Amino acid sequence: MKKILIIIAVIVALIALILGSKVVGSYNKTVILDENVMEKWAQVENAYQRRFDLIPNIVASVQGEANFEKSTLTEVINARSRMGGVVQVDEKMVNDEAAMARFQQSQASLGGALQRLMMITENYPTLQANKGFQDLRVQLEGSENRISVGRMRYNEAVKDFNSFIRQFPTNLVANSMGFIPKVPFAGDAEAKTAPKVKFD
């Protein structure tokens, strides 16, 4: 009888060890995937910030054009000022659909205004000939490309995280530890289209 109790105790200890190992492994992988999502979104944030920081230089270049359409320029300035001084994304945003939607809307508004501004500047030969303005256009195009790639990588990281925390038994660990699904980036048609910058 004593041997049977020892065997049962060893079996129970082994099962507890295996389950504990599985729980720790699931938790650690969830943390790694969570950090990956935040790192990818930080890259998107940096790309948006780069575009945001280019706008004053673009506006300064365009304002020198005497006949330039003031309403379009004002729209860009107002869209940028509505966003505040910096592009800021915290963990709450990637967990909150409403906050993500507001962020995407403000970025879409700014992106659309920039796109219209760039299209209008094509009608101004002095701007087209300005080397500084052309450099700004190239930098803007680079920023838009970085944003697009960053959003794609972020969405891939969100997909990996969300699918992992939904799997059994990881979902039990994730729920008990407070991990919730992340919100993917799902921009509208205007936000998905980078400004079309033509080089003559």
- pLDDT, tens only, 81-109: 877 655 565 667 788 888 888 888 888 88
> Residue written as tokens 């969300």?
162
Report which of 154, 145, 151 is spatially closest to residue 195, judged by C-alpha positions. Answer: 145
> Residue written as tokens 């230089």?
57
Q: Is the peptide bond before 169 cis (omega within 30 degrees of 0)?
A: yes
- 158 band by pLDDT with thresholds 50, 70 and 90: very high
Homologous superfamily of domain range 2-192: LemA-like domain (1.20.1440.20)
Q: What residue spans define the domains of the chain?
A: 2-192
Residue 60: pLDDT over 90: no
Mean pLDDT lowest for which of 17-26, 68-77, 108-117? 68-77
CA angle 28, 29, 33 (to 5 degrees): 120
CA–CA gap between residue 96 and residue 94 (Å, rounded)? 6
CA–CA gap between residue 129 and residue 90 (Å, rounded)? 41
CA–CA gap between residue 188 and residue 195 (Å, rounded)? 14
Residue 83 to residues 77, 110, 137, 157, 167, Cα–Cα distance (Å): 10, 9, 21, 26, 38
- Could you tell me the pTM of the whole model? 0.77
- The residue that leads in pLDDT, 124 or 113, is 113
CA–CA gap between residue 156 and residue 24 (Å, rounded)? 24
Arithmetic mean of pLDDT, 159-171: 92
pLDDT of residue 18: 85
